[in-house]
Every structure is written in structure tokens, then in C-alpha cells.
Amino acid sequence: MLIGYARVSKADGSQALDLQLDALAEAGVPEDRIYRDRVSGKTEKRPGLDACMKALQPGNTLVVWKLDRLGRDLKHLVNTVDELRQREIGFKVLSGAGAEIDTTTANGRLFFAVFAALAEYERELISERTRAGLQAARSRGRLGGRPRKMDTTALHMAMTAMSDPEACAQEIAQRLGITTATLYNYVNGDGSVKEAGQRLLDKARK
């Protein structure tokens, strides 16, 4: 079964989905199987895409007009395509730079393999950066076990690790033995300390 996804960047009516919808229909996608969004490509909340991903089943093929209609950025695109591969869902791009992507062909399957390799490479980079950030904190004498709640040792380690813009907060929290919510309660995404974290540091100095 073919399932389509179409997106325009503006919701004010200045951009129309007609071109994409016509292309998807011509490719054989039923009208009631086309999911739509009217949001910027940089917006994380895309209800149409979320619904589309939930509707896709193994053996289905996701069809988009152009590759840039799907991903917020390259990282999101790579991860999304890799998720499709893992779920045994096909992927087809009708025009533009990614028009060669069609998993019903040998070349299309090759593209899937490339996307899978890129996704694995990105995961390894994130894991490596997180380990390096925590090791940097430990090298400064901030050693410790895996606390169940935030303490000054874990806080210093979290600040160092989170200062890397490519770090994964979930993995940092896991390695520190705390929840992601606890991590963000004390540290901002850029590694700077929040009010709760500052109170903890001030208390430790007394």
C-alpha cells in the first residue's frame, strides 16, 4: 500500500499543497492515504507526519514529492529513513535530488543502506561525545558512582557533558543514574546551571 506525505511551510494559505497532492495522486497514492502538514520544516511538532508514521505498516511504502518535505534537517531525515528501513517500510521520492530513491529498485535499496550507515554513524558520534564529556569531568577530579539523585559531583559532570551541543541528554542522564527530567531540572541544554543547580553548588560551598 502506498501512503503519501505532503507539507508546505506556511499555514496562512499563501502556499498550496496542490502540486504535491497531484504528484502523489499520479504516483498512485489514494487521496485518503495522504497525510498533510502546514508547518515550517524546522518545526518539531508535525501532527500530519506523526499520524503518517503511526499509520505505516510493514510492507507499505511512504511516498513524498521531494526529500525536503520529510525531514526537519539532515539528521532528522537520516533517522526517519532509517526508522522506515527497520520497520520494513518502503520509501519513494518523486522528484528533486532524491528522485532516485525508490526501494522497489536496486538503486533505491542502496540508498536505504547508505541512510542506515549514516544513522549508525550519528549514534556512535553522540555516544562518543557523551563519554568524552563525562570523562573530561572525571579527569578534573569529579569522580563518583551512579547517584539516584543529583549531587555536586553529578552536577559538574552533567554541566561538562551537556556543554557539547551534540551531546545526548538521555544518554548523559542514564550514565549518571538519574532521569532526564532531573538532569534538565538542574542543567540547561547548553551546560549552564539552572537555579536548582546553583542552589546545590552554593550549599556545597558552605
Which residues have CB under 8 Å from 169's CB, separation 6+? 162, 180, 183, 184, 189
Q: Is 192 a catalytic residue?
A: no
Strand partners, 8: 38
One DSSP character per residue, 83-136 reads HHHHTT-EEEE-SGGGTT-BTTSHHHHHHHHHHHHHHHHHHHHHHHHHHHHHHH
Cell of 181: 527530567
Please state, in angstroms and rounded to a whole number, the distance separating the CA atoms of residues 39 and 86.
27
Q: Which of 9, 40, 127, 163 is catalytic?
A: 9
Grid coordinates of 114: 547508505
- What is the rounded CA–CA span in Å between residue 184 and residue 195? 11
Q: Give me the active site residues, please.
A: 9
